[in-house]
Amino acid sequence: MTQEKLAPATAPAVTETPRAWTRRHLLDVDDFAPAELEAVMQTADAMKEVLGRDVPRVPALRGKTIVTLFYEASTRTRASFELAGKALGADVINISAGGSSVEKGESLIDTVRTLQAVGAGVLVMRHWAAGAPYLVARHLQTAVINAGDGAHAHPTQALLDLYTIRNHLGDVQGRRVVIVGDIEHSRVARSNIWSLSAMGAEVIICAPATLVPEGMRPAGPHGGRSNGDSSQAHALPPVKVETNLDRALENAEVVMTLRLQKERMQAGLLPSLREYATLYQLNEERMSRARTGALVMHPGPMNEGIEISPGLANSLQSVIEEQVTNGVAVRMAVLYLIVRGAKP
Ligand code: NCD
Centroid of ligand 1 to alpha carbon of 5 (angstroms): 35
pLDDT at 342: 53
Name beta bridge partners: 217.
none
Residue minimizing CA distance to atom 11 of ligand 1: 301
In angstroms, what is the span from residue 31 Cα to ligand 1's centroid? 21
CATH classification (class only), 155-321 = alpha beta
Q: In whole angstroms, how large is the CA radius of gyration of the chain?
A: 20
| Ligand 1 atom, smallest distance to 186 CA | 4
Q: How many CB atoms lie within 10 A of CB 238?
A: 15
pLDDT tens, position by position, 208-223: 999 999 877 765 544 4
Decide if 331 contacts 50 (C-beta within 8 A): no
What's the confidence (pLDDT) of residue 235? 80
Pocket residue to mutate for ligand 1, from 70, 71, 75, 77, most atoms within 8 A of Cβ: 77
Asked if 296 contacts 255 with a C-beta cutoff of 8 angstroms, the reply is yes
Angle of helix 132-139 relative to helix 108-117, nearest 10 degrees, comes to: 50
- Given the CA of residue 187, which atom of ligand 1 is nearest to it? 4
Alpha-carbon gap, residue 125 to 103, rounded angstroms: 17
- Measured between alpha carbons, how far is 156 from 162 in angstroms, rounded to an integer? 10
Pocket test for ligand 1, best of 152, 188, 307 (most atoms within 8 A of CB): 188
Q: What pTM did the predictor assign?
A: 0.91
Q: Which atom of ligand 1 is nearest to the CA of 147?
A: 7
pLDDT for position 103: 80
* pLDDT at residue number 223: 43
pLDDT at 92: 98
- Rounded (10°) angle between helices 320-341 and 34-51: 110
Q: What is the pLDDT of residue 113?
A: 97
Q: Which stretches in the chain have pLDDT values below 50?
A: 1-14, 221-233, 344
Residues with CB under 6 A from ligand 1: 76-77, 148, 154, 157, 187-188, 259, 261, 299-300
CATH 3.40.50.1370 domain span(s) along the chain? 34-153+325-341, 155-321
Please give the single-letter amino acid code of residue 152: H
The pLDDT value recorded for residue 220 is: 52
Which pLDDT score is estimated for 234?
A: 62
Cα-to-centroid distance, 8 and ligand 1 (Å): 38
- Give the CATH number of domain 34-153+325-341; options: 3.40.50.1370, 3.10.180.10, 3.40.47.10, 3.10.150.10: 3.40.50.1370
- Ligand 1 centroid distance, CA of 126 (Å): 10
Q: What spacing in Å lies between the alpha carbon of 186 and ligand 1's midpoint?
A: 8
Distance, CA of 44 to CA of 14 (rounded, Å): 9
Q: Is residue 95 a contact partner of residue 122, using CB atoms and an 8 Å limit?
A: no
